[in-house]
């Protein structure tokens, strides 16, 4: 058992912070700031890795290697630019974490951005936590294409922070959208100076007073541009002497998602054979949701369908996607235990348009083997600083145990079937609790399945169970803090069998209130 080194000295490190001020909500129309500081540890572990649900969907802040000590802190400031109004607001945040035993990096800037707000419109630059897609953001397994599992990608984003009314229609139809340009990392990657393009549009149909609200929309992500040193001798199959297309014409192909083979004006100087399909690595989801609002509860049904090439357009991979239901309880129960929410989800990425792929892209039946999150040009795949940007159940090779790893840069297991259940509640007034359990079947990829049973050649899946129990308690220390403890357990074929724990103390406060 790994030694637990979360010492009293670390706890003393936050004693110099001023006690949090009590701020009335009416003052928040003026300038104000908030801060937090947290001391944490994942040092208790039965193996040399942290259990799945302790590091998953933490925006890259928790490494897979157990950390005896972690110190994180951050601050947010809100500055109105309009007198007696929050119509124009400038705000920003910075947050970082220092880890005691991470072999790759000790300190990480987990968030840092500056944003200009006008009503519900926003323009920001920097690294900011985002979650794209219709699903349960608190207790779900994470959105299919962009889950909050990886460190936020630096970007410039223009869009809405919430749903806004569509002019001349009233409150029946509202819309939310965004358009961004971002930058992938260069350290230890197959391709350098790679850009991110993303956009999304979501509609909400129904007045707030209606019991049924309909949701729908899409998000679209593209890796594009950049240079791959190992392809410097490639004359135009995957690259142009290592360079991927980054012209203005290419940007139109990136934004539109159109096949370049349809454009007679494709610049011959930029010609790369693979670009005749599409320029860059395109993926995303098309989402649908139904919200049932009742005075006693709120139920949300959602479905995300994956696209990674043209398979979804031809409806040959419709079996793949994330389906879920989230139940929220609005009734205060008479007992000390209060159930707040229940989430149940099912994810499948097994089909991928079928097992057949041929170069005749005009025949939809031949467009299978989508190979989600992998790409022949961007061979690191759909990840950022080693973490999957999409669903955490499609993991990079480095996060798997030795018997399953294949030495790839990208994802050796993208055909999965996952069942996930989570419950969240409260005990009395000061204690919160959460229970998670997920079970997955894993097949590898079409080209490289994990196991084959002889003599019939039938696939044998690898299974994995991951669970977690978390409890948080508010305490009066330092003018009000919260202690959180969690224990998680992994058992199966994908990760080393592990039981491990998490412990933290977190202090929040206000500053600069006027």
Q: What is the mean pLDDT of the chain?
A: 87
Q: Is residue 413 a contact partner of residue 394, using CB atoms and an 8 Å limit? A: yes
pLDDT in tens, 183-236: 999 999 999 999 999 999 999 999 999 999 999 999 999 999 999 999 999 988
What SS3 state is found at 252? helix
Measured CA angle at 383 (ends 441, 148), to 5 deg: 80
Out of 179-193, 305-319, 482-496, pick the least confident: 305-319
33-225+280-511 CATH fold: Porin (2.40.160)
Query: What's the pLDDT band for 359 if we cut at 50, 70, 90?
Result: low
Out of 355-364, 472-481, 502-511, pick the least confident: 355-364
Chain-centroid distance, C-alpha 480: 30
Residue 15 confidence (pLDDT): 33
pTM for the model: 0.90
> 3-state SS of 38-103?
EEEECCCECCCCCCHHHHCCCCCCCCCCCCCCEEEEEEEEEEEEECCEEEEEEEEEEEEEEECCCC
Query: What's the pLDDT band for 254 if we cut at 50, 70, 90?
Result: very high
Query: What's the pLDDT band for 367 if we cut at 50, 70, 90?
Result: low
- Residues 310-339: what's their mean pLDDT? 82
Residue 365, φ and ψ in degrees, nearest 5: -65, -15
pLDDT in tens, 460-487: 789 999 999 999 999 998 888 999 999 9
CA trace torsion 162, 166, 172, 175 (10° rounding):
-40
Indicate if the pLDDT at residue 454 is higher than 70: no
Indicate if the pLDDT at residue 120 is higher than 90: yes
CA trace torsion 344, 348, 402, 495 (10° rounding):
10
Most confidently modeled of 142-146, 252-256, 336-340? Answer: 142-146
- Please report, for residues 136, 138, 335, 459, 462, the alpha-carbon distance to residue 419 in angstroms, rounded to integers and kept in the order given: 14, 17, 30, 20, 14
> For residues 167 and 502, what is the distance between their CA atoms, to the nearest angstrom?
49
- Taking the alpha carbons at both ends of the chain, their separation in whole angstroms is 50
What SS3 state is found at 369? coil
Residue 129 confidence (pLDDT): 96
Token reading at 183: 């930058």
Residue 53, φ and ψ in degrees, nearest 5: -80, 0
What SS3 state is found at 372? coil
- Residues 70-74: what's their mean pLDDT? 96
Closest CA relative to residue 157, chosen from 118, 197, 98, 207: 197
- Residues 404-427: what's their mean pLDDT? 95
Q: Is residue 69 a contact partner of residue 41, using CB atoms and an 8 Å limit? A: yes
């Amino acid at each position: 058992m790994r030694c637990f080194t979360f010492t009293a000295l670390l706890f003393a490190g936050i004693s110099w912070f001023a006690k949090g001020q009590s701020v009335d909500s009416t003052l928040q129309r003026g300038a104000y700031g908030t801060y937090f500081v947290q001391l944490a540890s994942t040092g208790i572990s039965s193996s040399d890795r942290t259990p799945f649900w302790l590091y998953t969907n933490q925006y890259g802040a928790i490494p897979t290697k157990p950390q005896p000590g972690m110190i994180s802190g951050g601050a947010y400031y809100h500055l109105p630019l309009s007198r007696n109004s929050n119509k124009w607001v400038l705000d920003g945040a910075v947050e970082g974490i220092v880890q005691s035993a991470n072999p790759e990096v000790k300190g990480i800037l987990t968030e840092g951005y500056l944003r200009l707000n006008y009503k519900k419109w926003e323009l920001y630059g920097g690294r900011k936590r985002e979650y794209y897609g219709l699903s349960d953001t608190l207790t779900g397994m994470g959105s299919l294409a962009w889950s909050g599992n990886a460190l936020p990608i630096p970007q410039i984003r223009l869009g809405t922070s919430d749903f806004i009314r569509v002019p001349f229609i009233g409150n029946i139809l509202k819309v939310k959208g965004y358009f961004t340009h971002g930058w992938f990392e260069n350290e230890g990657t197959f391709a350098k100076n790679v850009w991110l393009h993303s956009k999304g549009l979501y509609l909400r149909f129904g007045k707030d007073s209606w019991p049924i609200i309909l949701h729908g929309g899409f998000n679209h992500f593209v890796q594009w541009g950049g240079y791959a040193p190992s392809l410097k001798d490639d004359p135009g199959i995957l690259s142009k002497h290592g360079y991927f297309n980054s012209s203005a014409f290419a940007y139109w192909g990136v934004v539109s998602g159109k096949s370049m083979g349809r454009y007679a004006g494709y610049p011959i100087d930029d010609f790369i054979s693979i670009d005749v399909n599409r320029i860059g690595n395109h993926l995303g989801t098309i989402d649908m949701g139904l919200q049932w609002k009742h005075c006693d509860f709120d139920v949300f049904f959602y479905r995300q369908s994956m696209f990674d090439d043209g398979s979804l357009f031809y409806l040959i991979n419709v079996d793949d996607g994330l389906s879920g239901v989230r139940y929220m309880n609005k009734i205060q129960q008479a007992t000390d235990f209060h159930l707040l929410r229940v989430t149940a989800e099912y994810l499948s990425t097994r089909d991928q348009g079928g097992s057949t792929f041929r170069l005749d892209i005009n025949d939809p039946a031949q467009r299978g083997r989508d190979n989600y999150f992998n790409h022949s040009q961007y061979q690191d795949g759909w990840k950022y600083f080693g973490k999957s940007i999409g669903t955490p159940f499609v993991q990079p090779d480095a996060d798997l145990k030795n018997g399953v790893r294949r030495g790839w840069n990208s994802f050796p297991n993208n055909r999965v079937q996952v069942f996930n259940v989570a419950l969240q509640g409260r005990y009395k007034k000061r204690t919160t609790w959460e229970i998670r359990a997920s079970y997955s079947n894993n097949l590898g990829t079409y080209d490289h399945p994990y196991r084959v049973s002889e003599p019939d050649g039938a696939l044998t899946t690898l299974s994995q169970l991951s669970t977690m129990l978390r409890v948080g308690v508010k305490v009066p220390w330092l003018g009000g803090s919260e202690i959180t403890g969690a224990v998680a357990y992994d058992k199966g074929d994908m990760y080393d069998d592990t039981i491990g724990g998490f412990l933290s103390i977190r202090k929040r406060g206000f500053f600069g209130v006027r």
